[in-house]
Amino acid sequence: MSQPVFSRRSLLRAAGLAGGAAALAACAGPGGEAAPVTSGGFDGPVEGELSFAHWRAEDKDVFDQVIASFVQKNPKVTVRQDISASADYQSTALTKIRGGGVGDAFTAFRGAQFTNIASAGVWSDLTGQSLIGAYEPALITAGAQGGRQLGLPYQLVFNMPVTNQDLLARHGYAELPRTWDGFLGVLDGLKAKGVTPIAWPGGDSGNGGQLINSMVLNNAPADDAFAQVEAGTLKVTDDWFLTTLRQYEQLKPYFQGGATGTANEAAMQLFATGKAAFLATGSYAAGPVRKLGARFPLGLYAPITVANPRYEGVFNATFILGVNANSSRKAAALAWLRHLSDPAVAAVYANGTSQHVTVAGVEYTNPDLRAFAPWLTRRTLLAPRFQFNDLDVRTAVEEAAVKVVGGTKPEEAAEAAQRVVDQKR
C-alpha cells in the first residue's frame, strides 16, 4: 500500500505555516509617516459624485433638501450622504475617510477625533477661504489648530439646563438669580411647592455628564481647566473641583429621586409633563421634549457658582465640517461647504433640525431656536467637558460628580477620579 502524499501531520504543519505567514503579513499593518496638512487644491471643476460623510442620520431629510438646492446651482455635481452610526464614526468610518474612499466632504466630533484627523493630515487647510467670513468667529475656534482653520464647526448647542419658563414664572421666578445661594433658594422654593426642581438623567452617561459644563464654568481656574487636568497641570483633587463636587452635593436634594439611576427618557418625561422646572441636559433636548408633548416656553440657565462669574453659559460647536485632503473632488467639496455656509441654506438646516448653527445672520423661525437665540451673543464658554481627549478620563471625572450625588464624599470621589487620570496619562 502506497503512502499518502499528504499526512494529517503535514497538513497541520502547512496550516500552521500559513497562519504564521498570515501573522507576518499582518505585521505590515498601517505604516508610513503622518502627512502634513494640505493647503490649496481647490481649483478645478465643480463636478462629479461627491461623498458627504457624517453621523447624523436624523438630519438626512433636511440634508436632502439642502443637497437639492446645491445640485440646482451646480448641475454637474451629485451628492451622496454616507451616514454612519456615531459609534462607528469613531472607528471604521474614519478609516475609510482617511483612505479617501468616502467623505470628500466630511464631519468630525470636537476633541480627540478632530485632533486625530489633524495629526493624520486628512483635513484640508481652509485658512483664507472666503467662506470662513460667513461664520461667527468666536464659535468656530474648535475647528482651528496651530493658527489654521482646518474645519468649520457647524451645529451649535447650549450644553446647559433647559427651563420651563411658565412653571418658573408661576412660582415667582421669572428672573433667575445670579448667585449660588440665590439659585439654591429658588430650588428650595420650588421643592416646597411640590415641584421637582431639577430633572437630571444621572443614569445616562452622555446626557448626565452635561451638567458638569455649567458647574465648572466659573469655578475652574482656567478656561482650559479640563485640558490641564488631562495634561497633569491641574488636578481634580484641587480646591476648584472639590468646590464643584460640594456644590453637586448641595444640589442632591433638588434632583428627582433615584437621580443616579434615571435614564434620559425618564428625566425628559418629568420635564415635559411640567413636573420639573429644570432639565439638566442642553438645548438639544428641545425637540425631543416637544415630541413628548411639552407646550410651555423654554429657556436656558446655567447655575452661577461664584460671586464674580466670567461666563453666563456654555456652548458646544461639534459637527465640524471639512474637506478631505485625499479627495480628488476638493473643488466640489469646498463648493458644498460654501453652500452650507450660506445663511439662507444654514437657516433651512437649523430650522429643519431644531439646532442653531455657527453661521452668522441666520434667521431662526423655530420658536425654541428663537427663544435660545439671545445666547448666541452672550458670554458663553466652549463646553469644558469636551476638552478631554481621553474618554476614560472624562468618564472618571464626570463619574466623580455622579458618585457624590449617590452619597460618596467629594474628597473620596475626587481621589478615585484623579487616580484614573494619573493612570491614563
Binding site for another protein (CB under 8 A): 1-6, 11, 15, 18-19, 22-23, 25-27, 29-35, 87, 90-91, 94-95, 98, 112-113, 116-117, 119-120, 202-206, 256-263, 265-266, 269-270, 390-392, 395-396, 399, 402-403, 406, 408, 419-420, 423
Comparison of 29 and 133: residue with beta carbon closer to another protein: 29
In the numeric block, the cell 455649567 is attached to 214
Chain centroid to Cα 38, Å, comes to 26
Q: Which residue's CB is nearer to another protein, number 230 or number 342?
A: 230
| Cβ closest to another protein, residue 36 vs residue 133 | 36
Minimal distance, residue 378 CB to another protein, in Å: 30
Q: What are phi and psi of 394, to 5 degrees?
A: -60, -45
The Cα–Cα gap between 295 and 134 comes to 34
DSSP 335: H
Residue 209 CB, shortest distance to another protein, in Å, is: 10
* Torsion, Cα of 347, 353, 356, 357 (10° steps): -60
Count of CB atoms situated within 10 Å of the CB of 132? 17
Nearest distance, CB of residue 36 and another protein, angstroms:
12
Residue number with CB closer to another protein (15 or 192):
15
Whichever of 294 and 402 has its CB closer to another protein, that residue is: 402
Residue located via cell numbers 429657556? 299
Alpha helices, DSSP H, located in 193-309 = 205-208, 211-216, 225-231, 239-251, 264-272, 286-291
CB of 326 to another protein, least distance (A): 11
Shortest distance (Å) from residue 422 CB to another protein: 9
CB 402 → another protein: shortest distance, Å? Answer: 7
Nearest to 269 by CA among 293, 253, 287: 293
Shortest distance in whole angstroms from residue 91 CB to another protein: 6
**Calpha distance 345→334 (Å, rounded):** 15
Nearer to another protein, 2 or 377 (CB): 2
Minimum distance, C-beta of residue 35 to another protein, in the bound complex (Å):
7
- For residue 115, which amino acid is it? T
Say which residue the cell 478620563 belongs to: 393
SS (H, E, C) 122-180: CEEECCCCHHHHHECHHHCHHHEECCEECCEEEEEECCCCEEEHHHHHHCCCCCCCCCH
Identity of the residue numbered 415 = E
CB neighbour burial string for 280-305, b if at least 16 within 10 angstroms, e if fewer: bbbbbbbeebbeeebebebbbbbbbb
Report, in Å, the least distance between residue 207 CB and another protein: 8
* Cβ nearer to another protein, comparing 210 with 366: 210
Q: Which is closer to another protein, CB of 1 or CB of 307? A: 1
Residue 366 region by backbone torsions, left for phi larger than 0, else alpha for psi between -120 and 50, else beta: beta
Closer to another protein by Cβ: residue 196 or 351? 196
